[in-house]
Amino acid sequence: MLGTQIKVPTKGSEIQEIAGVGPLYRRLHDTLRARISSGHYPVGLLLPTEAALCEEFNLSRYTVREALRQLTVLGLIARRQGSGSQVVSDVTPVVFTQSMRSLSELFQYAFETRFDIRTVRRAAPAKVLADLGGIDRAIPWLLFDGVRRDRLSDRPLAHARVLVHAEFARLEAEFRSTEGPFYGVIERHAGRKVADVAQSITAGPMAPRTAKLLGESADATAVQVLRRYLDRDAAVLLVSINDHPANQFRYEMHLRREG
């Protein structure tokens, strides 16, 4: 196949327990992902075959395939019929790199950063926002304005604004104190689920106020990541706007063959 390619040895005869809670395929995905990150399955080499994984973890082929599919979507492995599943990347985080592909990654991102809230006020959404749809300008939304910082280093990452729909204004205290994502507050306290996040990335001159907040020069460039959190009726529950300094921002993702 790949010249000197050697298949990573597996303990095929030992049944591995799958730790954690939630669907089996996700837990297997987590296990395999951890093994990739730790170098147990080195980049460039093959994962165990589906059959071997079925045996090792005593799971059906469907479950194994679903776990592998998720690793594929994440860009960690590439699968080839007749060949096997090759590790093409391990999750090596770059400086500040965004690569959101799913809601759960947004969830994780919120925990890795801190929203330093500076002001909270009622505000009508800008017209440009309303034109995106699902946003009623007639009622004032709750606007949180501040700086999103790296949780470890406290370095400013972005000028962050979050507009929360007025029906959740009563949750202001919870928004202020949450360590996780705002949408999590809505889901926990208001019983509204986020079904979809529409994300848009644009670039342009950085606003003077943003430059001042982030310690950037007056002629800096900003990359704006705008996210609308939609519920199942496509109603917008909240909007987040993050302006990042362009010189510290890159957005990466892997494109895959479909399927």
- Chain residues binding a copy of itself by CB under 8 A are 2, 23, 26, 43-44, 70, 75, 78, 80, 83, 86, 88, 100-106, 194-205, 221-223, 227, 230, 232-234, 246-247, 249-259
Burial degree of 18 (CB within 10 A; 0-12, 13-18, 19+): middle
- For DNA, which stretch binds (CB under 7 A), given 47-55, 131-139, 147-155, 198-206? 47-55
Q: Would you say 207 and 222 are in contact if contact means Cβ atoms under 8 Å apart?
A: yes
Q: Would you say 129 and 239 are in contact if contact means Cβ atoms under 8 Å apart?
A: yes
Query: Residue written as tokens 């990654």?
Result: 105
Using CB under 7 A as the binding rule, whether residue 49 contacts DNA is answered as: yes
Q: Which entry of DNA, a copy of itself, none binds 163, CB below 5 to 8 A by partner kind?
A: none
Q: How far is CA 146 from CA 25, 120, 136, 210, 230, in A?
A: 38, 9, 23, 10, 22
For DNA, give the closer residue by CB, 233 or 252. Answer: 233
Using CA atoms, how far apart are residues 185 and 149, in angstroms rounded to an integer?
A: 20
Residue from 9, 17, 81, 218 that binds DNA (CB under 7 A)?
Answer: 81
**Residue 65 CB, nearest approach to a copy of itself (Å):** 11
What 3-state DSSP class applies to 191? Answer: coil
Using CB under 7 A as the binding rule, whether residue 2 contacts DNA is answered as: yes
**Residue 196 CB, nearest approach to DNA (Å):** 13
Using CB under 7 A as the binding rule, whether residue 37 contacts DNA is answered as: no
**Residue 23 CB, nearest approach to DNA (Å):** 3
Using CA atoms, how far apart are residues 198 and 133, in angstroms rounded to an integer?
A: 11
Q: Which entry of a copy of itself, DNA, none binds 119, CB below 5 to 8 A by partner kind?
A: none
For DNA, give the closer residue by CB, 173 or 255. Answer: 255
Q: How far is CA 117 from the centre of its chain?
A: 21
- Helix or strand run (H / E) with residue 122: strand 113-123
Judged by the rule CB under 7 A, the positions of this chain that interact with DNA are 1-2, 5, 7, 23-26, 47, 49-51, 58-63, 65-66, 68, 79-85, 193, 259
